[in-house]
Amino acid sequence: MSPQRRRFLTDTARMAAGCVLAGSGLAWLARDARALPAEALRPPGALPEKAFLAACIRCGLCVRDCPYDTLSLAELGEDGAATGTPFFTARDVPCEMCDDIPCVAACPTGALDKGLTDIDDARMGTAVLVDQENCLNFLGLRCDVCYRVCPVIDEAITLEVSHNDRSGHHAIFAPTVHADHCTGCGVCEKSCVLPEAAIKVLPTRLARGTPAEHYRKGWEEMEEKGAPLVDGVIDLPDRLPGPGTDNLAAPGGFEPAFKLPEGASQ
C-alpha cells in the first residue's frame, strides 16, 4: 500500500469513527428528549410525540399567536420537554380552547395538525381525578368547580351522584371525567381550589388503560344484536337489595339464610 493511500484510509477511518461517536452522542440525547414529562402538555393538534419531534422546527410561532400566553418554548435544562419545543403546564396557564385555534393556524410545518378544525376534538391529554381522598366533592361537599369551569361541561365531566355512606343521608357528587370528550385543556386542573390540584391533566398514555381485545362486553353486543348472544340461555331472577341491607322495602328480596352474630361488622 502506498503511503498516500494508507494515509487516506486512516484519515477516512478516523473521520468516520469520530462521526459515529458524535452521531451516537446525538442519538442518546434524542432518546432522552423524547421523554416528555407528565406535566408538560403539547398544544392542540400536536402530532403524537415521536412524529412531533420530527416535525416541529422550534420556531415559536404557535407561542406568539396564543392570545392567552399559554404556550412557551422549553428552555435547555429548565423545562423537561425537548429544548425549544412548545408546551404548556395546565396548573400555570391552561389552554382556553380558542374557536379559531390560532396556534394551529400559525404552525408552518404541520407539527400542529391543520386537520384539527374543531377545538373540541383536541386531545392534549386527559383529565384524571387523581386524589379522591382530598377532592371536596368526594368528601361530600358541593365544590363542583372543575365541573363548572369545564368548556365541555356535562360531556367531559359529569357529576355522578351516589349515596354518602359517611353521613348516611347525603349525596356525593363525584366529578367524573369522560375521556372521549375531554380535550385535556387543563382548565379544571387550573381551577381546582385545593393547594395541589386533585384533578390533573395527564398525557393520555399515563391517564388511560386500554381495553382488553379479547374481553367482549356482552351487554353491548346484546344491545347491538337485540337478543341474547347465546340462544336458549335461562335468565335467572336477579338478587335485588332487600332485608339485610338498608333497603328493606324493596320487593322480591330474599331473607338471608342465616343471621350474622350480633356485633359482627358487615
Partner 1 sequence: MKAKTALPVGQEAIREKGWWKAYRFLILRRASQAVFLSLFLLGPWFGLWLVEGTLAGSRTLGVLPLTDPLVLLQGLVAGHWPELTALTGALIVLVAYALLGGRSYCSWVCPINPVTDAAHWLHDRLDLPKGWQPKRHTRLWLLGAVLATSALTGTIAWELVNPITMLHRGLVFGLGFAWALVALVFLFDLFVSRRGWCGHLCPVGAFYGLVGHKSLLRVTASKRAACDGCMDCFAVCPENHVISPALRGKGAETPLILSPDCTNCGRCIDVCSVDVFAFTHRFDPRIEATPEPSPDAPDEMAA
Residues in touch with partner 1 (CB under 8 A): 11, 15-16, 18-20, 22-23, 26-27, 29-31, 33-34, 47, 50-51, 53-61, 63-64, 72-79, 82-84, 106-111, 114
* Binding region for ligand SF4 (CB under 6 A) out of 10-18, 30-38, 107-115, 163-171: 107-115
Partner touching 184 among ligand SF4, partner 1, none, CB below 5 to 8 Å by kind: ligand SF4
Determine the Cα–Cα distance for residues 169 and 12; give it in Å rounded to an integer.
83
Determine the distance from the C-alpha atom of residue 66 to the mean position of all C-alpha atoms in its chain, rounded to a whole number. 22
Q: Which H or E element spans position 202?
A: strand 199-202
Q: Is 86 in the site for ligand SF4 (CB under 6 A)?
A: yes
Considering only residues 124 to 183 of the shown chain, the ones binding ligand SF4 according to CB under 6 A are 127, 150-152, 156-157, 177, 182-183
# of chain residues touching ligand SF4 (CB under 6 A): 42
Q: Is 60 in the site for ligand SF4 (CB under 6 A)?
A: yes
- 3-state helix, strand, coil split of the chain in percent (to 5) is 25, 15, 60
Q: Is 68 in the site for ligand SF4 (CB under 6 A)?
A: yes
Burial class (CB in 10 A: 0-12, 13-18, 19+), 199: buried
Cβ atoms of 135 and 191 closer than 8 Å: no
Q: Which of 130, 120, 109, 2 is nearest to 47 (CA)?
A: 109
Q: Is 44 in the site for ligand SF4 (CB under 6 A)?
A: yes
Cβ atoms of 97 and 121 closer than 8 Å: no
Residues in contact with ligand SF4 by the rule CB under 6 A: 43-44, 56-62, 66, 68, 70-71, 86, 95-98, 101-103, 106-107, 109, 111-112, 119, 127, 150-152, 156-157, 177, 182-188, 201
